[in-house]
Structure 1
Amino acid sequence: MLMFMSPEALSELIAQTASTLVERGEAGELTTDQLPSVDAITVMRPKDRSHGDWATNIAMQCAKKAGLKPRELAQSFANELEQASGIAKVEVAGPGFINITLDAASAASIVDTILSEGEAFGRNQHLADKTLNLEFVSANPTGPIHIGGTRWAAVGDSMARVLEANGATVVREYYFNDHGEQINRFAKSLVAAAHGEPVPVDGYKGAYIDEIANRVIEQAKAEGIDILTLPRVDGGVDEHGEPFGEGDSEQREEFRKRAVPMMFDEIKQSMRDFRVNFDVWFHENSLYEDGEVTRAIEDLRERGDIEEHDGATWFTSTKHGDDKDRVIIKSDGNYAYFAADIAYYRNKRHRKVNPADVAIYMLGADHHGYIGRMMAMCAAFGDTPGENMQILIGQLVNVMKDGSPVRMSKRAGNVITIDDLVEAVGVDAARYSLARTDYNQSVDIDLDLLRSHTNENPVYYVQYAHARACNVDRNAAAAGVTHEGADLALLDTQADNDLLAALAQYPSMLSAAGDGREPHRVAHYLEDLAGRYHKWYAAERVAPMALTDDEERLPEQEREALRIAKNPSAARAAARLRLNDATKQVIANGLQLLAVSAPEHM
C-alpha cells in the first residue's frame, strides 16, 4: 500500500531533498545549518489545481543564502523531487515556486489511510506533554446561562475536543462566582419576590426569580420552616457561624443558602443538555474557606510584590506591566474581587491532580480591561504571560428572527438563555452555529435559517453530506458493490481529485486549529469538504444506474458516454465507494469535534 503523501510528509521530503542538494554541492553556497526546519517549510495547495497537487516556496526561502536565482535553485529541487516515489511531475513556476503533482495512486492513498485509522485519522500527539486548564462559561449562579455564556459553552467544549485530538490533557473547568455582592443582590431579589415587593434597584429580574423564590419556600416548608416569618432585620450568623455582613438578615441568608445550590443544579443540567461535561466545578467561596486567598497573598508578599499603604493592601502589578497597582485588601478589611483571581490562578498551577501547564481563560467582551492585571499576576508568580496564562476574549452574539433582533426571554426577562436557543433550533444547530465563527468576531444567529432544511443552513449542509454518504452505502449494498477489487488509481477525475485534496488537508487543519485555539477552523473545513462531496456526488456514480427515457433518445455517442459514466467498472465503483466512505468518516470525525451529530438519514 502506498503511504498517504500528507503536507507534513511532503515537508519532510523537501527537507531531505535540501540536505541532499547541499551534500552534493548543488545548492550553491547554502550550508546545512542554514536550511529551514521541517516546520518552517511551507507546503500549500495551488490556487489553480491544474498547476499541481501541492506547491512550495523553499527555493525562494533559500536562494539568497545560496547565492543563486530562485528559479535556478528551484530547478535543482524539481530534478531531485521528481525521482521520489509517488510523485508524477514537478515543475518550476513563476519567480521560483515548485509545483508538485502526485501520481494518481499516491494521491488516492489517503483513502486507505482514513479507512484504516477511522476515528483516529488526523489525531496527533504534538501537545501530549501539556496539561491545559480550560475555563469557560463561568457565569454567576444568579440566573440561567445567557446567550454569551452559551457561545462560550459551544466554543469552549469544541476547543477542548480539538486540543485533546492534538494529544493534550485538557481539564474543562467551570468557576462559580459564589462569593460576594452579586450573591447578596440575588438573595435580596428573591426575598422581595417572595413578599410580592418591587425588585431592588440593583436586583435581578425575570420570571425565574419568582420560580426560585417559590421553590425555596416549598423546600423550607417541607422541612417545617416558614421562611417568610424569619427575621428580616440585620443580625445573626450564617451557617458557618460567621456574622452576617452589612445589610444581611436571617431570612435573606436562608434564601441564599437554598437558592444558590438550586441555580448550580440548573446550570449543570443546562450544560449537560448542551453536551458539555466539565471535569471541575470550582467554587470561588472555597478559596476563602480553605485559606488559599491568604496563602496566595503571602506568596506574592515573599516575592516582593505586596505593599501596604493608605490603609489597604496592594499588589504592585505595575512592576509586571500593568497600568496601575491593584488593591487586594480594602481599607475596611474586605477582600477586593481580584484577590480571589490571584488565589485561583495559583491554585490551577499547583494542584495535586492535573496542575495546569497552561491556564486558558475564556472571558466575555467586557473583560478587555482585565487582561493587564491578570498577565501581571502571572508574571509575578514567575510564570510566562501568554504561555502559562492565555486569555481569550469572546465577542457578542445577536439572535435574529424574521430579520429583527430577538431580545426577550420568557423566563429570564431581558436576555436569551441557553435553554431558549436549544428550544428554538436544537442542540446541533445551536452548537454548530456558535462554534463556526471566530470568537474574536461578533455573530448573528438567524433562528429562521437554522431551522431550515436548505443548503444555506451550514449545519444542515454538512450533516446532509454525511447522510448522503450513508445513502450511497445503502444503494451500493443493494447493487452488490463492495470495497473488494478497488483500484484507487482510477480515482482520476476532477471531482475525485478535488475531494481527495480536501481530505488530505484534514490533519494539518486539525493541528492548526489546536495550536491557534481556533475550533471554528473545523466548521469551515467541514463546509468546504461537504461542498466538494456534494459536487462529487452529482458528477460520479458508485452503484450502476440505468439511463432515463430522455437519455435513451440522445444521439448514440452521447448516450454511450452517459452509459459509461452511470455504470463504472467494478474496480472504479469499488474505489469510489471507498472514497465515499473515507469522506463519510472524516465528516463524522469533524462533527464529533464540535459535538454535533452525524445523521444517517435526513
Structure 2
Amino acid sequence: MTPPDLAELLRGTAAKVLAERGLDTAVLPDELKVERPRNPEHGDYATNIAMRIAKPAGVNPRDLAGWLADALTATEGIDSAEVAGPGFLNIRLAASAQGAVLETVLAAGTEYGSSTALSGTAINLEFVSANPTGPIHLGGTRWAAVGDALGRILATQGAAVTREYYFNDHGAQIDRYVDSLIAAATGAPTPEKGYAGAYISEIAAAVVAEHPDALAGDDEQRRETFRAVGVELMFEHIKKTLHDFGTDFDVYFNESSLFESGAVERAVTSLKESGALYAKDGAWWLKSTDFGDDKDRVVIKKSGEPAYVAGDIAYFENKRSRGFDLCIYMLGADHHGYIGRLKAAAAAAGDDPNTVEVLIGQMVNLVRDGVAVKMSKRAGTVITLDDLVEAIGVDAARYVLVRSSVNSSIDIDLALWTSQSNENPVYYVQYAHARLSSLARNAADLGVSVDNPKFELLTDDHEGELIRTIGEYPQVVSSAANLREPHRIARYAEELAGTYHRFYGACRVLPQGDEDPNELHTARLALCNVTRQVLANSLALLGVTAPEQM
C-alpha cells in the first residue's frame, strides 16, 4: 500500500467514522498527510488527521484518533493503528499490503511512477537558449540537465511536453560576434565588447576554409558571410554539445523569424490598438505595472527599433498559437525581472498570466582543491559545459546539476565528483544498481527462482523499510512534477540506495554453501529486482545511466 493509497483509505475511514457519529464530514481537508515516522518503532506511517479535524468537528483529538484507530485496525491491509501523544495515529501495514506494492512495481516495470494527472496538458518547456556567440557556459549547463530532467518527469505524469530552444540570432550580440570573427580572420585585435577565446579563431578559420573569398568584397558582404556561416557553425557546436550531454530539443526556434515574419510588428500594433501601450519621451511603453510588473517596459525605442520585450511578446503569442496550455521559461540568475515582464506580456495580450511560468536558476561554480576554477581552455573567460563533462563525465555532471534545488547555487568539487566512493552521490546510487544487477546474475547461476514470490515472508524491519521506500516513489515523482523540482528524484534515489545497502547488510538474499534455495530467498531476490527497477526508473528521469557493473 503506497502513501497515496493509504491516504485515500484514511479519508474514506474518517468520513465513515464521522458520519456514524453524526459529525460533519465537510471538515475533512482535500488532502490528507501521511508520513513515515523518523523512528521505525512508531510504525510504518503516521498521520495527524485527528488533530487537524477534531476542533471543527467538535470532538477531543485523542477520542477521534481512537475511533479512527479502531476502524483502521479492522480494515484489510492494516496490521495495527495506535494513538500517540495528543492525537497522532501510528499505522502498521499488514505484510500482504506491503507485498501489493512490490506486485505493482513488477507489473508496471519502467512505467512505475507514471500517472495521468497531467493528461491533456500541452507544455512548452523552454530552456538553455544560450546565445549562439560561444559555447554553453556553466549556468546554461545547469538548465541543460535540470530542464531535460523536468521534461522527462512532466511526461511521466501524462503531459505532452515540447522541449524548445530559443535561438537568439537577432540583435547586438550577433553583431559583436560577427565583428569578433572578422577580427580573428584578419589578425586584428578583438573589438571592444567583442568575444575572445580559442573558439573564435577556430570558427573564423572554418568560415574562411568553407568560403575562401569570405574576406573579399565590401564590408556588408563580409559581414553577411561571417554572420550566416559563423552563427551556424557555433550553433551546430552547441547542438552537438547538448546531444552528447544527453539533452535534445523538439524545436529550435529562431528569434529572427519573429521579425522577418512580421510577428513582432503585428503584436505591437495589436497592443497599441488595445491601449496596452502608451507613448512617452519618443518611445512606446508597455503598461506592465498594470499587470503586476515592477515597472513599465519600453517596447519600441526612441530610434523606432523594437526593444527585447517586443520579441518576448511576439514569442509568447506564437507559443500560444501553437496550442500550448502552459509556457515554462527556465532562465538564469540575472533574469528575475523577466518573471513580471513575461506575465505582464501575457496579460497585455489578453491572456491568462498563469499560462506563463518562469523558473530561475542560481549560479554554478567549479572548484578544484578548494579554489574556484574560472578560466576555460577554449572559451577563455568562462567555464563551459564541455569543460565540466571533460572534468567529471556526463553522468556525474548531469547528476550534480540536478541534485540541488535551482534556488540555491552549486559548488562542484571536482575531487568529490570524480571519486569512486560512497561520498560521491552519483557513484553511490549507480553502485547500488550495479550491485543489484550482479546479485541477479549470481542468483541465476545458483538457480534461485524469482517466480511466484511470497512477499508475505518479508517481515524483517529492513525489508519493511525498503518496501515502504519503494512505495513512496510515485508520490515523489508527482511532487517533483507539480513543484518543478527534479532534485527530489535524485535525493530519493540516494535514500533508496542507502535503504537497500542497509537491507543487504542485514538480510541474506542468496543461499550459502550447500544450502538449497528456499521461498525466503525467492521473495528477497524479487524484492531486490523491484529495487533495481525503481533505481533504474529514477536514474532514467535524471538522464543518468544505470550501469550493470562497475
- TM-score relative to the length of structure 1: 0.89
Matched, 1:534 2:501: yes
Q: In the TM superposition, what whole-angstrom CA distance separates every residue of 1:23-73 from its partner, at most 9, and x where no partner exists?
A: 3126xxx31333222xx1111111111111111111111101111110011
Matched, 1:470 2:434: no
Give the alignment partner of residue 287 of structure 1, picking from 241, 255, 258.
258
Q: Which residue of 1 aligns with 2:24?
A: 31
Task: Report which stretch shifted further, 295-304 or 463-472.
Answer: 295-304
Q: In the TM superposition, what whole-angstrom CA distance separates every residue of 1:466-499 from its partner, at most 9, and x where no partner exists?
A: 0000111111111111113522111111211111
Q: Which residue of 1 aligns with 2:346?
A: 378
Tell me by how many angstroms 1:228 deviates: 2.0
Matched, 1:193 2:184: yes
Which residue identity is paired with 1:31? D
Q: Which residue of 2 aligns with 1:275?
A: 246
Q: Which residue of 1 aligns with 2:336?
A: 368
Q: Which residue of 1 aligns with 2:404?
A: 437
Q: Which residue of 2 aligns with 1:456?
A: 423
Q: In the TM superposition, what whole-angstrom CA distance separates every residue of 1:200-253 from its partner, at most 9, and x where no partner exists?
A: 1110010000000000001112xxxx2223223xxxxxxxxxxxxxxxx33222
Q: 1: CA distance between counterparts of 2:96 and 2:517?
A: 17
Structure number with bigger Rg: 1
The number of residue pairs the alignment matches comes to: 550
RMSD: 1.4
Q: 2: CA distance between counterparts of 1:357 and 1:69?
A: 46
Which residue identity is paired with 1:210? S
Give the alignment partner of residue 93 of structure 2, picking from 102, 108, 118.
102
SS of residue in 1 equivalent to 2:128 = coil
Q: Which residue of 2 aligns with 1:302?
A: 273
Q: Is the 8 A contact 2:2 2:468 kept in 1?
A: no
Give the alignment partner of residue 522 of structure 1, picking from 489, 497, 509.
489
Q: Which residue of 2 aligns with 1:559?
A: none
Which residue identity is paired with 2:533? Q
Which residue identity is paired with 2:71? E
Q: In the TM superposition, what whole-angstrom CA distance separates every residue of 1:173-195 from its partner, at most 9, and x where no partner exists?
A: 00011001000000000111111
SS of residue in 2 equivalent to 1:229 = coil
Q: Which residue of 2 aligns with 1:246?
A: none
Tell me by how many angstroms 1:569 deviates: 6.2
Q: 1: CA distance between counterparts of 2:451 and 2:319?
A: 53
Q: 2: CA distance between counterparts of 1:328 and 1:569?
A: 75
Q: 2: CA distance between counterparts of 1:81 and 1:303?
A: 60
Indicate the percent of aligned positions where both proteins have the same amino acid: 53
Q: 2: CA distance between counterparts of 1:80 and 1:302?
A: 65
Q: 2: CA distance between counterparts of 1:379 and 1:437?
A: 32
Q: 1: CA distance between counterparts of 2:62 and 2:411?
A: 47
Give the alignment partner of residue 469 of structure 2, picking from 502, 525, 540.
502
Q: Which residue of 2 aligns with 1:63?
A: 54
Matched, 1:357 2:348: no
Matches within 5 A, 1:167-206: 167-206=158-197
Give the alignment partner of residue 479 of structure 1, picking from 430, 442, 446.
446
Q: In the TM superposition, what whole-angstrom CA distance separates every residue of 1:138-179 from its partner, at most 9, and x where no partner exists?
A: 000001111111110000000000111111111100001100
Tell me by how many angstroms 1:541 deviates: 1.5
Q: 2: CA distance between counterparts of 1:228 and 1:485?
A: 74
Tell me by how many angstroms 1:109 deviates: 2.3
Q: Which residue of 1 aligns with 2:150?
A: 159
Tell me by how many angstroms 1:322 deviates: 2.0
Q: Is the 8 A contact 1:293 1:343 kept in 2?
A: yes
Task: Report which stretch shifted further, 506-515 or 101-110.
Answer: 101-110
Q: 2: CA distance between counterparts of 1:303 and 1:25?
A: 59
Q: 2: CA distance between counterparts of 1:418 and 1:111?
A: 39
Q: Which residue of 2 aligns with 1:570?
A: 518
Q: Which residue of 1 aligns with 2:214?
A: 227
Matches within 5 A, 1:316-331: 316-331=287-302
Q: In the TM superposition, what whole-angstrom CA distance separates every residue of 1:318-365 from its partner, at most 9, and x where no partner exists?
A: 2212232221111211111111011111111112xxx22111111101
Q: In the TM superposition, what whole-angstrom CA distance separates every residue of 1:124-144 from its partner, at most 9, and x where no partner exists?
A: 010112111110000000011
Task: Report which stretch shifted further, 103-112 or 468-477.
Answer: 103-112
Matched, 1:22 2:9: no
SS of residue in 1 equivalent to 2:335 = helix
Residues 31 and 410 of structure 1, relative CA distance in 2, 3 Å threshold: same
- TM-score relative to the length of structure 2: 0.98
Q: 1: CA distance between counterparts of 2:216 and 2:254?
A: 30
Q: 1: CA distance between counterparts of 2:278 and 2:82?
A: 67
Q: Is the 8 A contact 2:367 2:411 kept in 1?
A: yes
Q: 2: CA distance between counterparts of 1:295 and 1:144?
A: 33
Q: 2: CA distance between counterparts of 1:319 and 1:36?
A: 35
Q: 1: CA distance between counterparts of 2:315 and 2:516?
A: 63
Q: 1: CA distance between counterparts of 2:289 and 2:417?
A: 48
Q: Is the 8 A contact 1:541 1:568 kept in 2?
A: no
Q: 2: CA distance between counterparts of 1:74 and 1:569?
A: 45
Q: 2: CA distance between counterparts of 1:379 and 1:525?
A: 38
SS of residue in 2 equivalent to 1:365 = coil
Matched, 1:84 2:75: yes
Q: 2: CA distance between counterparts of 1:147 and 1:166?
A: 29
Which residue identity is paired with 2:98? A
Q: 1: CA distance between counterparts of 2:520 and 2:325?
A: 50
Q: Which residue of 2 aligns with 1:43?
A: 34
Any unmatched runs of 5+ in structure 1? 233-248, 548-566
Any unmatched runs of 5+ in structure 2? none
Q: Is the 8 A contact 1:542 1:568 kept in 2?
A: no
Q: 2: CA distance between counterparts of 1:131 and 1:499?
A: 36
Give the alignment partner of residue 539 of structure 2, picking from 577, 591, 596.
591
Residues 373 and 51 of structure 1, relative CA distance in 2, 3 Å threshold: same
Q: Which residue of 2 aligns with 1:551?
A: none
Give the alignment partner of residue 530 of structure 2, picking from 559, 575, 582.
582
Tell me by how many angstroms 1:568 deviates: 8.5
Q: 2: CA distance between counterparts of 1:19 and 1:569?
A: 47
Q: 2: CA distance between counterparts of 1:113 and 1:388?
A: 35
SS of residue in 1 equivalent to 2:449 = coil
Q: Is the 8 A contact 1:485 1:571 kept in 2?
A: no
Tell me by how many angstroms 1:376 deviates: 1.4
Q: 2: CA distance between counterparts of 1:375 and 1:404?
A: 40
Q: 2: CA distance between counterparts of 1:110 and 1:414?
A: 52
Q: 1: CA distance between counterparts of 2:225 and 2:441?
A: 61
Which residue identity is paired with 1:374? L
Which residue identity is paired with 1:33? A
Q: Which residue of 1 aligns with 2:65?
A: 74
Q: 1: CA distance between counterparts of 2:189 and 2:62?
A: 79
Q: In the TM superposition, what whole-angstrom CA distance separates every residue of 1:99-135 from its partner, at most 9, and x where no partner exists?
A: 1101122223211111111001111010112111110
Matched, 1:339 2:310: yes
Q: Is the 8 A contact 1:185 1:204 kept in 2?
A: yes
Give the alignment partner of residue 127 of structure 1, picking from 109, 118, 121.
118
Which residue identity is paired with 1:14? L
Tell me by how many angstroms 1:314 deviates: 1.7
Q: Which residue of 2 aligns with 1:558?
A: none
Which residue identity is paired with 1:281? Y
Q: Is the 8 A contact 1:503 1:586 kept in 2?
A: yes
Q: 1: CA distance between counterparts of 2:262 and 2:474?
A: 46
Q: Which residue of 1 aligns with 2:141?
A: 150
Q: Which residue of 2 aligns with 1:7?
A: 3
SS of residue in 1 equivalent to 2:132 = coil
